[in-house]
Amino acid sequence: MRPNKGLFIAATLMILILGLITIWSTVPDLFYSQLAFAVAGIIIVFMLSRFDTRTFFSLSGILYFLSILLLFLTLIVGKNIRGSVRWIDLGFFNLQTSEIVKPLLAIFYSSYLSQNKICKWKDLFKFLGLSIFPIILVVIQPDLGSALTLSCLPLALLIFTGNIKKIAIFAVIFLAFTIPLESKLLKPYQRQRIETFINPYKDPKGAGYNVIQATIAVGSGGIVGKGVKLGTQSHLNFLPERHTDFVFASFVEEFGLIGASFLLGAYFIIIQSCLQAGQALRNKRESLLSLSVFSILGFQVMVNVGMNLGVMPVTGITLPLFSYGGSSLLSFAILIGLQLRQLDLITPFEI
């Protein structure tokens, strides 16, 4: 089935507008900042949708090294905010490099796997070696959410290119070595997040507080929601990170099940379009780029919504095009712009 470009654009705009309304409702002081990034994002989408992606593929090696450079620079000159060094201060805004490298690495991985077949184990380890380097740099910051997204991307592409058996064997061996070292690999707060996911009521006023308040907010929205600016959990500051990690809970509290259905439906349209494009495109690197966008968007939506509903551990993953944050918005604007270009490349014979 051929993806509908008009529906793709409409769904993207719906998510963006609903996100802006939620930011305006919950944290009005940040609304104009998010609006400015939204406008910048729309301009980026418009420009990239008309840009020949073959240019990006020809520069894929440079984009990979640029990603590594940005992540290195963050560790050296990055701004420390609440114990994490994830941002480079550009003066007019703080650039979160782990967000910006997502589309850059998506282009690199797509180009690499289209030119290099993973036939032998050494080929697999070479690709995984290239993939793990930026992940390590993000983990050091530390930014577990972005590290998980950057881990999901190359693994998903390996599965799409038919390396399921190799990945399964590697995963079993990897887990066999890492599980015994769990106490040394995970930091106390990361282990606490896993324990909280299993039983948030073990520490309802501490580690489990965020998840409990998020699920209360979602449940209190009912069918039609409480209305704009009438959400008690968010406006009375019971819900933490109400405009970033738990913005979905803020939205559902005010717009209810009906609003959530429209929002998730819009995400489904976008994600399905990426998957359909990936299956329809005959050029392998273009196909893999669409599947990269599918993987990143699908993973982040699933994890963010899941942690708001209490069925996924809290990892600090933003809701694409919806959560507050300039870097995240610009990163997904690049991905959406690239994907729009991919949709234009599908001919009537590629259905």
Q: What residue spans define the domains of the chain? A: 5-344
DSSP string, 18-33: HHHHHHHHH-GGGHHH
Residues, the chain? 351
pLDDT of 181 strictly over 80? no
**Using omega within 30 degrees of 0 as the cis cutoff, is the peptide bond preceding 204 cis?**
no
**80 CB-side CA count, 13 A:** 3
Sheet of strand 94-96: strand arrangement = 79-81, 84-89, 94-96
More confident residue, 202 or 133: 133
* Terminal Cα-to-Cα distance of the chain (whole angstroms): 6
Q: CA distances (Å), 316 to each of 91, 189, 201, 319, in order?
A: 25, 13, 20, 10
| Euclidean distance between CA atoms 311 and 309, whole angstroms | 6
Question: Residue 182: what residue type?
Answer: E
pLDDT of 150 strictly over 60? yes
323-341 pLDDT, tens per residue? 998 999 999 999 999 999 9
Confidence band of 350 (pLDDT split at 50, 70, 90): very low
pLDDT of 351 strictly over 50? no
| Euclidean distance between CA atoms 40 and 328, whole angstroms | 12
